[in-house]
Homo-oligomer: A and B are copies of this chain.
Amino acid sequence: MKKIKTRDRILQTSLALFNSVGEPNVTTLLISDEMDISPGNLYYHFKSKGDIVEELFDQYEHEMLDLLSVPNDADITLDQQGFFLHLLFETVARYRFLYQDLVNVLSRYQPLQVRFKRIKRKKTFAFRTICESFQRQGIMEIGTKELDPLCEQLTLTSCYWSAFDTLSHLENRETVDPGRGVYQMMHLVLPYLTPDFQEEARLMSRDYL
């Protein structure tokens, strides 16, 4: 029963507020109010609001790059892909504030732009790696011309699904269900799977609804 350090509580509270009302709408005063500490105290731990954002981004980047380091010679199963997608959506959802107002955030914290693009590229690359593994195993069959658009589409969906989804539930912005996103992603891949695996994937996808 150790008590959490103030510095960490600031990060936690900020993340929760950012996600639920949008980063630009969260003032340093709101954060300190929510935590029942003084604004001065907050500034003792972080020299600016931007520093909080950047540290949260550090966390996101770290978790993401970890997750995206898919070995490019492994035989990936459909189950493993499902699990991967699940983790991916959970991570994006946990930091969804970044995507909800992406242009705004990136324009105010310029150093993040390059790192953001890198993550995007890594995502696309990870999807390509998975697809190639599926192809080698005969799980997937897809034309060269179709592979690129598919991977782009998967990347787009993984980035924006949670933002898109909140459009339907603007009243309750505290929680996000990642399952629906996974379901959607599987249905993108499905048409390119070989018949047997199509059926397997269809069954699997249902569990995520």
Interface residues of A (CB under 8 A from B): 21-22, 24-25, 100-104, 106-108, 113, 116-117, 120, 145-146, 149-150, 152-153, 155-157, 159-161, 163-164, 166-168, 170, 183-184, 187-188, 190-192, 202
Q: What is the CB-to-nearest-CB distance from A167 to chain B, in angstroms, rounded to a whole number?
A: 6
Residues of B within 8 A of A187 (CB): 146, 149-150, 153
Complex formed: what's the CA distance from A101 to B22 in Å? 10
Q: How many copies does the complex hold?
A: 2
A170 and B24 in contact, given A153-B184, A153-B187, A184-B153 (Cβ under 8 angstroms): no
From residue A85, how far is it (CB to closest CB) to chain B in Å? 14
Given A113-B170, A157-B156, A187-B146, A24:B104 Cβ within 8 A: yes
| A156, B163: Cα distance in complex, Å | 10
- Which of chain B's residues has its CB closest to A192's CB? B191
Q: What 3 pairs across the A-B complex have the smallest Cβ distances?
A: A191-B191, A100-B103, A149-B187
Q: A25–B116 Cα gap in the complex (Å)?
A: 20
